Amino acid sequence: MEKSRPRVILSAAMSLDGKIATKTGDSELSSKQDKVRIHILRSKVDAILVGSNTVKRDDPLLTVRYVKGKNPLRIVLDSKATINQKSQIIRTCKKIPTIVAVSKKASRQNISKLKKHPLEIMVIGKNRVNIKSLLKSLSKKKIKTLLVEGGGTVNWEFIKLGLVDELIVTITPYLVGGQNAITLVEGEGFSHIHKSTKLKLKKICQLGNEIVLHYS
């Protein structure tokens, strides 16, 4: 029997004060050592998922580069199909399998721009990408493990829907500040602690000047 959704691991590096980027969008928080750890993790999952703002801000490759290993499938949540044609993800989609998940709100024009590239476009959701339906479709594609790599808005959505099985957070030795700097979890937030997600601390690893926390 196929599982109805992949196992979801949410991973991020945050400053001591809970930010995952500065107010200008600088997210270079992890040390080289931590990046190696993340790339090992990437090589063990079937797919990596990020939100459209992370692509806009960071222009990530989402590949395994610091260690030897396979590149997982890359998934971008991009309701309006506005991903930059020059982004690293689009430029490398010939070599690395890529899904751009869009909603019915995406214009025909934007979709046809995307269709020029060898990637899969999944239309899923009315105004925004419907995450639950997306996970169902990924299961059908034999995606068993999904690494969610942010940003804060996407993290909130997965947490709100109770879809996070594991959380791995690196606490980096920076105090970033800034009320507009993106935090680990954005969105509207829970109204009370008893309504929030209570996780179980499984492991703590010290990596030089950083601490990696594993929760389930």
The DSSP letter of residue 194 is: G
Q: Least distance from C-beta 21 to ligand NAP, angstroms?
A: 3
| Amino acid in the structure at residue 39 | H
Q: Which residue has the tokens 């020059």?
A: 86
Binding residues for ligand NAP, rule: CB under 6 A, are 12-13, 20-21, 25, 27, 29, 50-54, 57-58, 77-80, 128-129, 131, 149-154, 157, 182, 186
Characterise 40 by phi-psi region: left (phi > 0), alpha (psi -120 to 50), beta (else).
alpha
CB 27 within 8 A of CB 205: no
| Amino acid in the structure at residue 179 | Q
Radius of gyration of the chain, Cα coordinates, nearest whole angstrom: 17
Secondary structure of residue 43 in the 3-state scheme: helix
| Amino acid in the structure at residue 204 | I
Q: Least distance from C-beta 42 to ligand NAP, angstroms?
A: 13
Nearer to ligand NAP, 27 or 63 (CB): 27
Nearer to ligand NAP, 51 or 96 (CB): 51
Q: Least distance from C-beta 74 to ligand NAP, angstroms?
A: 13
Q: Least distance from C-beta 1 to ligand NAP, angstroms?
A: 27
